[in-house]
Amino acid sequence: MFPIETFQRTLGKATDIFRQLEIRFHLTGGLAAVYYSEPRLTQDIDIVIDNTRTRATLNRFLENLEASDFLFDAESIRSAVSSGGMFQLLDNRESLKLDIYPRELIPGELDRSVEREVFEGTMIPVASCADVVVSKLVWVSKGSSKSRRDVRQMFRLASEVDRRLIEQLSDQLGLGSLLQEVVAEQHEID
- What's 62's domain CATH number? 3.30.460
Same domain, yes or no: 83 and 161 = no
Averaged pLDDT, 11-16? 95
Averaged pLDDT, 22-44? 84
Residue 65 has pLDDT above 70, yes or no: yes
- pTM across the whole model: 0.91
Same domain, yes or no: 114 and 77 = yes
Averaged pLDDT, 23-37? 89
What is the full DSSP assignment across the chain?
Answer: ---HHHHHHHHHHHHHHHHHTT--EEEEHHHHHHHHS------EEEEEE-HHHHHHTHHHHHHHHHTSSEE--HHHHHHHHHHT--EEEEETTTTEEEEEESS-SSTTGGGG-EEEEEETTEEEEE--HHHHHHHHHHHHHTT-HHHHHHHHHHHHHS-HHHHHHHHHHHHHTT-HHHHHHHHHSPPPP-
Tens digit of each residue's pLDDT (9 = 90 or more) over 108-130: 999 999 999 888 888 999 999 99
Q: So what's the pLDDT on residue 88?
A: 97
Same domain, yes or no: 118 and 160 = no
CA-CA distance, 127 to 140, in Å (whole number)? Answer: 18
Q: Which residues contact 171 (CB under 8 A, 6 or more apart)?
A: none
What is the full DSSP assignment across 154-179?
Answer: HHHHS-HHHHHHHHHHHHHTT-HHHH
CA-CA distance, 163 to 100, in Å (whole number)? Answer: 27
Residue 40 has pLDDT above 70, yes or no: no
Q: So what's the pLDDT on residue 6?
A: 83
Number of domains observed in the structure of the chain? 2
Residue 184 has pLDDT above 70, yes or no: yes
Same domain, yes or no: 135 and 169 = yes
Averaged pLDDT, 63-75? 97
- Confidence band, pLDDT 50/70/90 cuts, at residue 81: very high
CA-CA distance, 180 to 102, in Å (whole number)? Answer: 29
Q: Which domain range does residue 159 map to?
A: 129-184
Same domain, yes or no: 122 and 144 = no
Q: So what's the pLDDT on residue 188?
A: 62
Proportion of the chain above pLDDT 70, given as a percent: 94
Same domain, yes or no: 53 and 110 = yes
Same domain, yes or no: 145 and 164 = yes
Same domain, yes or no: 148 and 121 = no
Q: What is the CA radius of gyration of the chain?
A: 17
43 compared with 107, residue with greater pLDDT = 107
Residue 190 lies in a domain: no
